[in-house]
Amino acid sequence: MLACTGLGKAYATERGEVEAVRGIDLEIAPGAYAAIVGRSGSGKSSLMAMIGGLSRPTQGKVHVEGTDIWALSDSRLAAFRNHRIGFVFQFASLLASLRIIDNVALPALLGRRADAAAAYGAAAVLLDRLGLADFADAYPPEISAGEQRRAVIARALINEPALLLADEPTSDLDEQTEIELMDQLRALNRERGMTLITVTHNLRLAEQADRVLHIADGRLIS
């Protein structure tokens, strides 16, 4: 499903080049749930960004479903992200000026995979599945942080991705909401056979994963 070879990322800073990720080799099977853990600044999010086609590696390759994603042109990579990869970020990533249902339908509309009616229909089904049917017409600031995060998950699932990447998805949520949200992600991973990779500080949450990847100083240590 996912294969990284010799993956590395260096950032140019005022103090010189900083290597955030150093030569990571990694393979994850289809439908697996993997958790990436490590301290702040260890390179977890940079690794996730390269896997998700959001940040171009300075070295190495990323294959998702056999596609060398960083060999794709800019527009093809955008289409690939749209169709095959879902993202849940660590910040409230809904567009505040659009309704919840618009936010959820947005990737389907951007990808032009279906007409608008079908996209909104699929968005309504997902909102219902995640317990947000009553908030479809609400705007993001009108709902709680946990509800917003569930709306983000609905958005990530709208195009039925093969890979769902969640970068510290529960970092600003209370413990109860955090547990509920991770349970929902885990259930979706099982139901849909979708590969799930999360980045987390929380070792207790990471233990629920099929596989835990420890990163330190940009290297995969276990």
Partner 1 sequence: MTDFDATGEARMAVAPAGAGIRFLLINLALQNLGRRKARSLLLFAAVAICAGSVFTGAVLMRSIERSMDVGFTRLGADMLVVPEGTLTNITAALLTAEPTDLTLDAGMLGRLSRIKGVGQIAPQLIFRTDAAATGHQHETVDLVAFDPARDFTIQPWLAERLDRPLRKNDVIIGGRREEQVGAELLVFGESLTVYGKLGKTAVGTHENGLFMTFETLDGLREVMLRICGDKAPLQPDKLSGVLIDLAPGATTQQVRFAILASFPDVKVVSGESTLISVRQGLAILLDGVLALMLIMFVSTAAMVSVLFSAIITERRRELGLLKAIGARRRQIIGMLLIEAVSTTALGGGVGCLFGLLLMRFFEHSLVYYLEGIGIPFLWLGAGMTALFALLCVLLASLIGAVGAFFPAWRASRRDAYDLIRSEG
Measured from the Cβ of residue 47, the count of other Cβ atoms closer than 10 Å reads 30
Q: How far is the CB of 83 from partner 1 (least distance, A)?
A: 5
**Sign of the CA dihedral running 47, 52, 53, 55:** negative
Whichever of 114 and 143 has its CB closer to partner 1, that residue is: 114
- The least CB distance from residue 128 to partner 1, in Å, is 20
- With binding defined as CB under 8 A, does residue 1 bind partner 1? no
Nearer Cβ to partner 1, position 200 or 212? 200
Q: Is 44 in the site for partner 1 (CB under 8 A)?
A: no
Task: List b or e across 119-153, with b for residues whose CB sees 16 or more CB atoms inside 10 angstroms.
Answer: bbebbbebbebbebeebbeebbeebeebbbbbbbb
Which tokens in the block code for residue 58? 């300075």
Distance CA 79, CA 73 (A): 10
* Shortest Å distance, C-beta 188 to partner 1: 15
Q: Contact residues for partner 1 (CB under 8 A)?
A: 45-46, 49, 52-56, 65-67, 69, 71-72, 74-84, 87, 89, 91, 93, 95-98, 102, 105-116, 118-120, 155, 159-160
